[in-house]
């Protein structure tokens, strides 16, 4: 088995400075593991290489048990990080025009953002900058500007999604925060410098003008150009064309500089002792023979769709490791696999695969020599992890930004996308189609070759001397140190 490769401690040259002279940066993540994980990986990089001092400000209570446990493990691993809990005010969810628990948590954080002012102004040493989640711009920026704090966002999804977000008001017939040359004819969003974005790739909740997600994106876009910069978990070898368009003013004028700081790599604090059975099973499988099926921390499929996936895996004839999730938030008691899949289907799957409902270390799985393919919802963390491990992807987007991310998967050569499968709830995708797609993925040598090339580019960007991540961090540190007595690197 090939273990995951966390960045070595000497990934970048460590700054030889007194800690009192370093910039001090506050990180403010939002809700959900997809937003929290990249923030903690960023914090680990900043602290490990002594780039700056870090204060981590996390909303309390968290939405899920997984979030609170991950924060606890991070704080144990990095006691030098100043952890501050940001207590949220209660609000009437009925006023938010949404039912999704993650978007409601976003709104709760936004409505409580004014309480950040005393937290930010009281930390010691004084802050040099703030990095907040991309969903919090409209509420956090007025607070940080009142304190004269340079403000950045960590954009936790793709550069292609950032381009869409930059032009988002045009979709609803409104001007953007800055001059742009994009256009939307109702079917296709034309964005200069990058391939067109079809209406079918835009989440229905963002096309509904009165929805909470559309309201949040509209408000955040209105002051996007007031930020000092945008950090993004991507790299040149995956999204070079889009990064160039964003930073050359092709998408919108006056967009703050976009810093590619990816790919973020897994850290030791993320590991839990629950992957043993899956990894032991993988150890007994031939190289490049297993397709891994996982839809992330928040995507719950219907029982009918879950059973069709099981049927499809059997029809594909491939070995498989499948992580089943049928509840959106992990605070809910879950039923056993027998109840979810049915005894007969579960029994039939034992010969070719392993089905689990427990958490697995996804990067450890993707790094394993036996794994050759990944059926993924295309949450951005999953896409970058597949890139880092060089595993080809069968994209099956479920919500939000995931069709736009699937476009990145397809255009980069990392994988393939069955566009006719649509959004969940439109149709149940049948087992025969799923099986044929998996068989095609696992036999496609061209995708295997291009995924390996993307892996090489990801490693160079993330761990190579002079790579894109190092260059971005050096530029950021010099900006942050303008507010300290330290002269930079």
Peptide bond before residue 125 is cis, with ω within 30 degrees of 0: yes
The rounded mean pLDDT for the chain is 90
Which residue's structure tokens are 């070595």? 8
Token digits of residue 452: 């390996």
Choose between 240 and 12: higher pLDDT: 240
Report yes or no on 12 lying in a domain: no
Contact yes or no for 106/216 (Cβ under 8 A) = yes
- Least confident interval from 57-66, 104-113, 332-341, 408-417: 332-341
Q: What is the pLDDT of residues 61-106, one digit of tens each?
A: 998 888 999 999 999 999 999 999 999 999 888 888 788 888 899 9
On whether the CB atoms of residues 56 and 84 are closer than 8 A, the answer is: yes
Q: How far apart are CA 61 and CA 71, in angstroms?
A: 12
Which domain range does residue 176 map to?
19-267+462-483
Residue 14 lies in a domain: no
Q: What is the pLDDT of residue 299?
A: 67
Q: Do 149 and 200 share a structural domain?
A: yes
Summarised one tens digit per residue, pLDDT across range 363-372 is 999 999 999 9
Tell me the sheet residues that pair with 56: 27, 83
Residues 305 and 362 in one domain: yes
In a domain, 1, yes or no: no
- Predicted pLDDT of residue 186: 95
Same domain, 447 and 374: yes
Closest CA to 468 of 298, 240, 249, 284: 240
Average pLDDT over residues 219-236: 97
> With pLDDT > 70 as the criterion, what percentage of the chain qualifies?
91
* Both tokens assigned to 6: 């966390």
Residues 356 and 473 grouped into a single domain: no
Instruction: Please check whether residue 5 lies inside any domain of the structure.
Output: no
Give per-residue pLDDT as tens, 384-406. Answer: 999 999 999 999 999 999 999 99
d(CA 442, CA 91): 48
Q: In the prediction, which pLDDT does 72 show?
A: 96
Q: How many CB atoms lie within 10 A of CB 122?
A: 9
Based on the fold, state whether residues 80 and 147 are members of the same structural domain.
Answer: yes
Taking the C-alpha atoms of 194, 200, 206 and 211 in order, what is their torsion angle to the nearest 10 degrees?
Answer: 170
Q: How confident is the model at residue 360 (pLDDT cuts 50, 70, 90)?
A: confident
At 301-325, the pLDDT tens digits run: 888 999 999 999 999 999 999 999 7
Q: Do the domain assignments include residue 10?
A: no
Same domain, 196 and 337: no
Residue 241 has pLDDT above 80, yes or no: yes
- Neighbour tally for 177: CB within 10 Å: 18
Distance of CA 378 to the CA centre of its chain: 9
The answer to whether residues 257 and 298 belong to one domain is no
225 & 371 share domain: no
122-164 tens-digit pLDDT:
999 999 999 999 999 999 999 999 999 999 999 999 999 999 9
Q: What token pair was written down for 177?
A: 């925060």
Residue 316's nearest CA partner among 276, 269, 372 is 372
φ/ψ of 414, rounded to 5, equals -70, -25
The string of DSSP letters for 39-74 reads: HHHHHHHHHHTTS-EEEEEEEES-SSHHHHHHHHHH
Instruction: Say if residues 83 and 67 touch (Cβ distance below 8 Å).
Output: no
Token pair for residue 85?
């809990």
Peptide bond into 150 cis (omega under 30): no
Question: DSSP readout, 104-146?
Answer: HHHHHHHHTGGGHHHHHHH-SSPPSEEEEEGGGHHHHHHHHHH
Tokens describing residue 393: 């992807």
Sign, Cα dihedral of 113, 115, 120, 123: negative
Total structural domains within the chain: 2
The reported pLDDT for the residue numbered 387 is 98
Q: Between vectors from CA 144 to CA 138 and to CA 149, what angle results, nearest 5°? A: 135
For position 485, what pLDDT does the model report?
47
Sheet containing strand 371-376, edge to edge, reads 353-356, 319-323, 290-294, 371-376, 392-395, 415-417
381 within 8 A of 38, measured Cβ to Cβ = yes
Same-domain status, 446 and 466? no
pLDDT at 330 > cutoff 80: no
d(CA 31, CA 41): 15
Are 263 and 330 within one domain? no
pLDDT at 266: 86
Alpha helices in 317-430 (DSSP H): 337-341, 343-349, 362-367, 380-389, 402-412
Report the residue count for the chain.
489
In a domain, 403, yes or no: yes
Pairing of strands 183-184, 151-155: unpaired
Q: 20-50, pLDDT tens digit by residue?
A: 578 999 999 999 899 999 999 999 999 988 8
What would the DSSP string read from start to end of 192-230?
TTS--EEGGGS-HHHHSTTSHHHHHHHHHHHTGGGSSEE
Looking at residue 59, which CATH number applies to its domain?
Answer: 3.40.50.2000
Short-list 304, 342, 340, CA closest to 325: 340
Element (H, E) at 471: helix 468-480
Cα angle 281, 283, 284; round to 5: 70
Sign of the alpha-carbon torsion through 8, 79, 468, 475: negative
Q: Does residue 251 sit in the same domain as residue 393? A: no
**What confidence category does residue 179 fall into, taking pLDDT thresholds of 50, 70 and 90?**
confident
Same domain, yes or no, for 335 and 473? no
Is the pLDDT reported for residue 423 higher than 50?
Answer: yes
151: which strand partners? 130
With respect to residue 253, please indicate whether it lies within any of the assigned structural domains: yes
* Nearest CA-CA partner of 308 in 322, 292, 328, 287: 322
Active site residues: 35, 133
Whether 488 is in a domain gets the answer no
What pLDDT is attached to residue 8? 37
**Is residue 44 within 8 Å of 462, Cβ to Cβ?**
no
């Amino acid at each position: 088995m090939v273990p995951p490769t966390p960045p070595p401690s000497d990934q970048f040259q460590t700054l030889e400075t007194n800690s009192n002279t370093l910039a001090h940066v506050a990180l403010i993540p939002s809700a959900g593991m997809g937003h929290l994980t990249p923030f903690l990986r960023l914090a680990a990089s900043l602290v490990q290489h002594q780039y700056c001092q870090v204060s981590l400000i996390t909303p309390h209570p968290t939405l899920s048990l997984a979030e609170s446990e991950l924060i606890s493990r991070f704080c144990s691993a990095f006691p030098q990080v100043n952890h501050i809990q940001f207590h949220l005010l209660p609000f009437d969810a009925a006023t938010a025009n949404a039912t999704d628990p993650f978007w409601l948590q976003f709104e709760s954080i936004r409505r409580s953002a004014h309480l950040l002012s005393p937290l930010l102004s009281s930390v010691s040493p004084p802050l040099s900058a703030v990095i907040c989640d991309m969903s919090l711009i409209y509420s956090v920026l007025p607070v940080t500007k009142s304190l004269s704090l340079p403000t950045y966002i960590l954009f936790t999804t793709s550069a292609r999604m950032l381009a869409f977000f930059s032009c988002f008001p045009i979709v609803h017939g409104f001007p953007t925060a800055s001059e742009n040359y994009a256009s939307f004819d109702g079917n296709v969003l034309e964005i200069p410098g990058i391939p067109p974005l079809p209406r079918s790739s835009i989440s229905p909740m963002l096309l509904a003008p009165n929805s909470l997600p559309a309201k949040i994106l509209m408000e955040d876009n209105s002051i996007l150009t007031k930020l000092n910069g945008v950090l993004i978990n991507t790299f040149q070898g995956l999204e070079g064309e889009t990064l160039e368009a964003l930073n050359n003013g092709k998408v919108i004028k006056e967009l703050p500089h976009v810093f590619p700081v990816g790919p973020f790599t897994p850290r030791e604090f993320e590991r839990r002792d629950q992957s043993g059975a899956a990894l032991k099973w993988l150890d007994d499988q031939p190289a490049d023979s297993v397709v891994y099926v996982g839809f992330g921390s928040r995507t719950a499929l219907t029982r009918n769709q879950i059973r069709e996936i099981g049927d499809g895996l059997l029809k594909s004839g491939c070995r498989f490791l499948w992580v089943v999730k049928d509840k959106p938030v992990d605070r809910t008691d879950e039923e056993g696999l027998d109840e979810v899949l049915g005894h007969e289907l579960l029994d039939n799957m034992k010969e070719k695969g392993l089905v689990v409902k427990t958490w697995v270390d996804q990067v450890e799985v993707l790094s394993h020599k036996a794994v050759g393919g990944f059926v993924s919802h295309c949450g951005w963390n999953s896409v970058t992890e597949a890139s880092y491990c060089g595993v080809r992807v069968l994209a099956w987007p479920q919500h939000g930004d995931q069709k736009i991310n699937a476009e990145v998967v397809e255009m980069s050569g990392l994988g393939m996308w069955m566009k006719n499968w649509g959004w969940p709830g439109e149709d149940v995708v049948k087992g025969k189609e799923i099986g044929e797609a998996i068989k095609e993925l696992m036999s496609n040598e061209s995708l295997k070759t291009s995924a390996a090339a993307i892996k090489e580019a990801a490693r160079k960007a993330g761990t190579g001397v002079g790579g894109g991540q190092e260059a971005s961090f050096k530029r950021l540190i010099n900006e942050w140190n303008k507010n300290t007595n330290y002269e930079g690197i």
